[in-house]
Structure 1
Amino acid sequence: MSFLIGIDGGGTKTHAVLTDLQGEKLFECFAGPSNFLILGTAKVSETILELIDSCSNYLNFSYGDISAVLLGTTGAGRRSDAGLLENDFQSFLQKKNISIKNFRVESDARIALEGAFSGKPGSILIAGTGSIMFGKDKAGNVHRVGGFGRFIGDEGSGYSIGKKALTAIAKSFDGRGEKTILSELISENFGISSSEKLITEVYKNNFDIASPTPLVLLAAEIGDKTAVEIIDSETDELILHIIAMNKMICEEVMSIAFIGGILSSKNFYSDLFTKKIKEQIPNCRVKPPDYPPEYGAVLMAQEYLKTN
């Protein structure tokens, strides 16, 4: 019997699913993070092999029974970076006298897109700590909007929301901006109650810029003007993502799935954003993903075997 292994690699955990060649799920397992641009390819190679071994031990099969392993992970958006991990993992296996054929690396967003629409045309909008949008047209072409990172992009993301909240609080502290309940919430939850403390936390203690985002949502829910303005501005940015993608894929009906906690859970942000979509992009239809990203990796592994 032959097997496929699809892997969803993230910054905090990595999720693998074992299937037969038809995609029937047989087993799943988890391991640590797999962002190789941060952890290095050697550490991530150990994690990948750990997951493969967990799968093979479960059904007692050999490495030779694996037809393909496809990993979608953070940091693999550029083919050069993905190829680096592919080559280093094969070198890692050679040192252990292990042979696994057809190991492929793709981006985490790419496998999420394939899983969300079962390999068919559609678009995903990811808004977590960062933001990016991918769409696939009827011809199979994949288009991208956003994803320029925290320095020049990530509009509509937790990072962008958190940064704007901290900027508003800084202005409130020294009288350049309006008073906002965000100042109280930040003080209560993070102990930041002065300009000096804010500067220390951000520039010395590596404060997580995205971490105030839930507080911004809470403040917006109770009507804080500053928080509402931040959410209004950030949802407008994501609307621009969809409008741009809509022009690229040229579909009569644009199907879109949300990935990431800010959009996929019900809150002030997601409610306002959904309302704006209905008003401004009437041909857009929001739907839940068909399958999770790790199964999207299985679908891509199946497609890879057909063409290689």
Structure 2
Amino acid sequence: MSVRRHRHVPGARVRGLAVGTDVGGTWIRVATDHAPGVLTVRSTREPAVLARLLRALWRRRGFTRGRVDALVVASRGVWTAGECAALAHRLRGLARRVRVVPDAQAAHRGALVDRPGVLLLAGTGSIVVGRDARGRWARAGGLGPLLGDEGSAFSIGREWLRAGSRGGRWQAALAAARAAEPVARIAALAPAVLRRARRGDRRARAIARRAQAALAEHARDVVRQLRLRAPVDASWAGSVLEDAWFRRGLVRALARAGVRARWRRPATTPAAAALRMATRLRAGR
């Protein structure tokens, strides 16, 4: 058996890594083209802390700016070009080329593979984004726990605590609100609320229906902003929408809202979409 050996060309540079990072409200997921699988670490809501977290992760993995050719960070909490550029500037020491995009846009690209349509994202927070055939983006929601996040895990957990605090039973709600990382702690209640809803708990079902209706209303808003033609391609992302029972209710809620949708299972994850964008960035595209 013959073995082909590739002669090293003096001065030639070995191609560096492409890294895609999905920064959600609870978890950071990192994918590279160097190794299979996704590395998952706890997230943060502070951009300055995010930079420190990623630098620490780079040290653990042996990554350096010279070794990472391209990094794409799909981050919550950014939308405008200025916001993306500011975060990219904070992360400039991690790779030769750094690009920041909104996490919902990466989720859309991953789920619908660059097709026009809407992406409903409900994890710790929530947002609905859409893209038309001309590449224009629109959004509804995504205003954070103080002003929005309707239909998210946080809103489901918050509504459950509110409902349970009546009749003088306010201690659990107040303890959750005063805890360290209260948004994540309250959002962590959502899976149990949805399990109760599946089993027929009336209070939990009412909370789930309101969450589904809120997401459907956001989706209708985006469809109207972009004037998307029916049937509108629709997909989903986020931990809440991994629940098949909740998702079936959302399908019905969107139909009741007057949106005729063609639902598509997500083609890939936001982290994988960010990695795909990083490989393009490495190639100069």
TM over 0.5: yes
1:236 to 188, 213, 216: 213
Distance 1:36 1:218 in 2: 27
Aligned 8 A contact 2:29 2:271 in 1: no
Aligned 8 A contact 2:18 2:282 in 1: no
2:139 to 144, 156, 168: 144
1:259 to 233, 237, 246: 237
The alpha carbon displacement at 1:232 in A equals 1.9
The alpha carbon displacement at 1:85 in A equals 3.1
Distance 2:20 2:104 in 1: 14
- Give the TM-score of the pair, scaled to structure 2: 0.79
2:78 to 76, 79, 84: 76
User: SS state of the match for residue 223, structure 1?
Assistant: coil
- How far does the alpha carbon of each residue in 1:37-70 deviate from its partner, in whole angstroms, 9 at most, with x for none? 255254134146348745x9xxxxx937x65321
> For 1:17-96, what aligned pairs fall within 5 Å after superposition?
17-18=32-33, 27-30=36-39, 32-33=41-42, 35=44, 37=46, 40=49, 42-47=51-56, 49-50=58-59, 53=62, 63=66, 67-90=69-92, 92=93
State the AA in 1 paired with 2:53. V
Distance 1:15 1:110 in 2: 17
State the AA in 1 paired with 2:39. F
The percent of aligned pairs where both chains have the same amino acid is 24
User: SS state of the match for residue 229, structure 2?
Assistant: coil
State the AA in 1 paired with 2:18. L
State the AA in 2 paired with 1:229. A
User: SS state of the match for residue 40, structure 1?
Assistant: helix
> For 1:188-199, what aligned pairs fall within 5 Å after superposition?
194-195=169-170, 197-198=171-172
> For 1:1-308, what aligned pairs fall within 5 Å after superposition?
2=15, 4-10=18-24, 11-18=26-33, 27-30=36-39, 32-33=41-42, 35=44, 37=46, 40=49, 42-47=51-56, 49-50=58-59, 53=62, 63=66, 67-90=69-92, 92=93, 100-171=95-166, 173-174=167-168, 194-195=169-170, 197-198=171-172, 200-206=174-180, 208-249=185-226, 250-267=228-245, 269-281=246-258, 283-301=260-278, 304=281
Distance 2:173 2:70 in 1: 49
Distance 1:244 1:279 in 2: 14
Superposition RMSD in Å:
3.0
User: SS state of the match for residue 53, structure 2?
Assistant: helix
- Tell me: CA distance 1:42–1:286, structure 2 relative to 1, closer, same or farther (3 Å): closer
Aligned 8 A contact 1:32 1:47 in 2: no
- Tell me: CA distance 1:265–1:215, structure 2 relative to 1, closer, same or farther (3 Å): closer
Distance 2:261 2:44 in 1: 33
The alpha carbon displacement at 1:9 in A equals 3.0
Distance 1:114 1:43 in 2: 27
Aligned 8 A contact 1:119 1:299 in 2: no
Distance 1:282 1:102 in 2: 40
Distance 2:105 2:283 in 1: 18
Tell which deviates more after alignment, 283-292 or 211-220: 211-220
- Tell me: CA distance 1:102–1:144, structure 2 relative to 1, closer, same or farther (3 Å): same
Structure 2 segments unaligned to the other structure (5+ residues): 1-13
- Tell me: CA distance 1:162–1:225, structure 2 relative to 1, closer, same or farther (3 Å): same
Distance 2:98 2:195 in 1: 44
The alpha carbon displacement at 1:242 in A equals 1.4
Aligned 8 A contact 1:122 1:256 in 2: yes
Aligned to 2:11: none
* Matched residues, number: 266
User: SS state of the match for residue 188, structure 2?
Assistant: coil
